Structure 1
Amino acid sequence: MTSPLWRKLLVLVAVLVCGTASSCAAITDAGTVSVLASWTGAEETAFRKVLAVFTDRTHIRVDYQGTRALDQVLAADVQRGTAPDVAMLPNPGSLAAYADHGLLRLDFLEHEVGKSYPAAWSGLQHAGKATLYAVAVKADLKSAIWFRPARLPGALPATWQQLLDRTRAVTASGGTPWCLGLAAPPTSGWPGTDWIEDLLLHSAGPEVYRRWAAGTLSWTSPQVRQAWLDWGTLVVHPGGVSGGPSSALLTDFGDAGRPLFADPPGCLLEHQGSFVMSTYAALGKVAGRDYDLLPFPGPRVSEVSADLAGMFHDTAGARRLLEFLISPEAQEIWVRNGVATVFSARADVPLTAYGDATKQEVARMLTVDPKVCFDASDLMPAAMSGAFYRAVLEFVNDPGQLDVLLGRLEDTRRGIPVADWLDVPCGQ
């Protein structure tokens, strides 16, 4: 039992350490910041490692919610007046719409972003707005094809024609060239949009791609139509994809690459963002040995994506969290997490932080003299990107209706106000 003397001494120590009862409370509980993002599973575990360091240092708790129905959950929360303090979205178009309504502002990060992010990313941060409204906390390479070195001997394709020839050779020998999964509720179809975007970028060039993403190039233009036809030549024909087109419509994008590692393999190539490395790692596969990266054949320019943070409530806690998340320390903790594959858009995160040579190559393409163009469907207004997703599914189901689908997409484009589109630099 504690004596009265010892109780007095304990009180005295508390006063000396804390000063007052209120300051002691501040040390043990500095409030809570609510965060909404898409990360679940291993990605959530990796993010929570970063949050743990933040909370340990600041005593600010983070109430994190992860959901794949991110846009829908956020829109409902904003409408109810219960928006999170911070939301991480992959689509600048959606964040720009919130910014236009005066809901987002990140002036306090302007200096750090301008100092630490490569110039190629600066246009994305602002996306034509007068004030910084979003910041990339996590980046991914989209112009990536993955393969098993032992199953794809010889010189790797460096041009579109070489890729097409290799695909046809695999089919002629009785193999299946491509893994493909288009199911991703509630946004099924987006893996196909990545394909079409990459094909347009590398065939027509960054300027045509920029105009299309900004809503100033028709969906019925020859360049856009050809990108769809090229994709159909690869995947929407007998023997093109594992299980056939109908299977691709039902296969979850996260499971599409599993046949790559079967024996014998069910497919030899997968076009997917760099985040797929986490999926491969969960299967026990090692980069460089079990799989490797083939940059999309053609001119060295890359389609990229990012998880962008927007602040919906300007609180001291939210500001401190965002300042920490984009700091070089937090970014390196995230990159080195050991659970999920994470890449930073910051130029000062050392390549050695990524460990293996494959990850270092991805990081180099993202940050070391990068020529990048942001995922076009993520830049487009929600009505346009949603129509794009649906058109991909309909095209795979019936490629003969391509011209009808492009006509519908063009009607959607014409119906969207000019002010709703983002015009972001591409390939610079």
Structure 2
Amino acid sequence: MSSIRSRRSLAAVAGGLGFALALSACSGDSGGGGGDDTAGGGATGGDTDCAAYADYGDLSGKEISVYASIVDPEAQQQRDSYKPFEECTGATIAYEGSREFEAQLPVRIQAGNPPDLAYIPQPGFLKSITEDYPDALVPAPQGVIDNANEFYTEGWVNYGTVDGTLYATPLGANVKSFVWYSPSMFDEAGYEIPTTWDELIALSDTIAESGAKPWCAGVESGDATGWPATDFLEDVVLRTGGPDVYDQWVNHEIPFNDPQIVEALGTVGSILKNEDYVNGGLGDVQSIAAAPWVDAGLPILDGTCWLHRAANFYQANWPEGTEVAEDGDVFAFYLPGQSADDKPLLGGGEFVAAFSDRPEVQAFQAYLSSPEWANAKAEVTGQGWISANSGLDRDLLKSPIDILSFDLLTDESYTFRFDGSDQMPGSVGAGAFWTEMTAWFASDKDDKAVLDAIEAAWPAS
């Protein structure tokens, strides 16, 4: 991505196009009263305080369709998070989750039967929809733009923007720039949390000199084998090349095998292909290719590994009863940058985009970009869910790693970038990038040969 537009200019663009949130069109003038338990004289809100929903108006009898890749049991949490909006406005949200979402959404668009709203799993997919079906998506209305500008960092707003127009706002989020460790092992050994890359390497050397293997890793993940290694490389490109080089690489403005990426892969190799560093509790360097990602961090629990790079959602893989906390059995620290002031942050998430500009659809889209929805979702969800919405009440988050992730996502001093492979063409990001990184371990394929093969897989434009 060559530039990041300011959030102020986004609002100006959308305002110039006249996409204002037409909530007044759906607010009743019945004067029905009902105090804080009704929205615009409309539906009864039950136990929900409906004051924050009043501007959405009375949407009784209106139905909004939502299509996403999130299926049960997580889909029920989505439905539950809509209840305050339904109670206070009278609208009905018809949610449909499908594992075939990415394949079926374009089919539905072509057939003229798109959903009112869709949860887009990555910015690359959003961009492809705008290119393949230029009249299908509706630019975000002013109420959504206002929420985006107020509650999200510029980087997040940018990822929902195509050619200067905001189409989508973030929903859920995750942070990938983490290293898991055992607080008690660190305390007993007298180790400090590293705050720079050099300190991380010095810590790794110290652990290795003690006779232990500092790092454990695994990239086996069924049909998606290799993806954990792509995340590691992306994190390192952000640190060795910086965000501008990262954007150029992801957008193929520089080749995949650019010398700066060769350097970054070499830096990854200084950890993951270092026989003194890996593979703690699991085997040798080659074992990384076959070690299941879901289990690769578990040697930390028996003391045969000290460090495991993985996202905040890795917390779901620790055995039942494992305490994830700063003073618990395991926790994670931020994967440091080149200096303490250098703070790149890799992550991912979903985005809400609209295919209809009906007032009730715009109202629900605004709700999904608001702190009210983020808080409702946090209340009905267990650990492992976060939002980059700064209006989220962090006290509602269920685990310390979720709270840490939220703090990083909403801290403007960190430079956020979205998962690179999720933005690349499928033949690369979900194809050659995975397979070649696996071969890098399994057959000790040369760094340059790996990157050359991935570059060759990039579709000709």
TM norm structure 1 = 0.79
Residue 298 of structure 2 corresponds to residue 258 of structure 1: yes
Offset at 1:227? 1.5
CA contact (8 A) 2:140 2:354 kept: no
Identity across the alignment (%): 22
Q: Which residue in the other structure is 1:149 paired with?
A: 183
Distance in 2 between residues matched to 1:185 and 1:38, nearest whole Å: 20
Structure 1 contact 144–295 (Cα < 8 Å) conserved = yes
Structure 1 segments unaligned to the other structure (5+ residues): 1-22, 418-428
Which residue number in structure 2 is paired with residue 111 of structure 1?
146
- Cα distance in 1 for partners of 2:108, 2:179 equals 37
Partner of 2:201: 164
Q: Distance in 2 between matches of 1:183 and 1:82?
A: 38
Instruction: Describe the superposition over 1:255-305 as per-residue Cα deviations: whole angstroms up to 9, x where unpaired.
Output: 4333333xx234322212222234448554232222222111222221222
Does the Cα contact within 8 Å between 2:383 and 2:399 map onto a contact in 1? no
Letter in 2 for 1:222: P
Q: Residue 59 and residue 259 in structure 1: after superposition, are their counterparts in 2 closer, same or farther (change >3 A)?
A: farther
CA distance in 1, matches of 2:214, 2:183: 14
Matched residues in 1 for 2:224 and 2:72: separation?
Answer: 16
Identify if the C-alpha distance between structure 1 residues 404 and 27 changes in structure 2 by more than 3 Å, giving closer, same or farther: closer
Alignment of 1:54-73 (within 5 A): 54-57=85-88, 58-67=90-99, 71-72=102-103
- Within the candidate set 384, 387, 390, 1:347 is matched to 390
Whole-angstrom distance in 1 between the partners of 2:83 and 2:311? 27
Superposed counterparts of 1:315-394, under 5 Å: 318-354=361-397, 358-369=401-412, 370-386=414-430, 387-394=432-439
The answer on whether the counterparts of 2:230 and 2:433 sit within 8 Å (CA) in structure 1 is yes
Aligned pairs for 1:296-307 (under 5 A) are: 296-298=335-337, 299-307=342-350
Q: TM-score when scaled to structure 2?
A: 0.74
In structure 1, the residue matched to 2:11 is: none
1:35 matched to 2:67: yes
Greater relative CO (CA pairs within 8 A, separation 6+): 1
2:334 aligned to which of 284, 295, 306: 295
Asked if the contact 2:157–2:169 (Cα under 8 Å) also holds between the matched residues in 1, the reply is no
- Deviation (angstroms), 1:74: 4.2
Aligned residue type for 1:397: A
Give the one of 158, 172, 192 matched to 2:229: 192
Write the letter of the residue equivalent to 1:91. Answer: Q
Query: Match of 1:372, as an amino acid?
Result: F
Q: How far is the alpha carbon of 1:398 from its aligned partner?
A: 2.2
Instruction: Assess, with a 3 A threshold, how the Cα gap between structure 1 residues 96 and 256 changes in structure 2: closer, same or farther.
Output: same
* Alignment partners' CA distance in 2, 1:160 and 1:87: 39
> Match for 1:254: what amino acid?
V
* Partner SS state of residue 136, structure 1: strand
- 2:64·2:92 contact (CA, 8 Å) conserved in 1? yes
Classify 1:336/1:254 alpha carbon distance in 2 versus 1 (closer, same or farther; 3 Å): farther
Query: In structure 2, how many angstroms separate the alpha carbons of the residues matched to 1:150 and 1:183?
Result: 29
Aligned residues of 1:137 and 1:326 also touching (Cα < 8 A)? yes
Higher helix share: 1
| Aligned-partner Cα distance in 2 for 1:150–1:328 | 36
**Structural RMSD (CA):** 3.2
- In structure 2, C-alpha distance between the alignment counterparts of 1:188 and 1:51, rounded to whole Å: 35
What SS class does the counterpart of residue 183 from structure 1 fall into? coil
In 2, the alpha carbon distance for the partners of 1:27 and 1:221 equals 54
- Partner SS, residue 267 of structure 2: helix
TM-fit CA distance, 1:198: 0.8
Question: Equivalent residue for 2:278?
Answer: 240
Give the Å deviation of 1:174.
4.4
Aligned to 1:275, the other structure's residue is in SS state helix
CA distance in 2 between counterparts of 1:71 and 1:391 reads 24
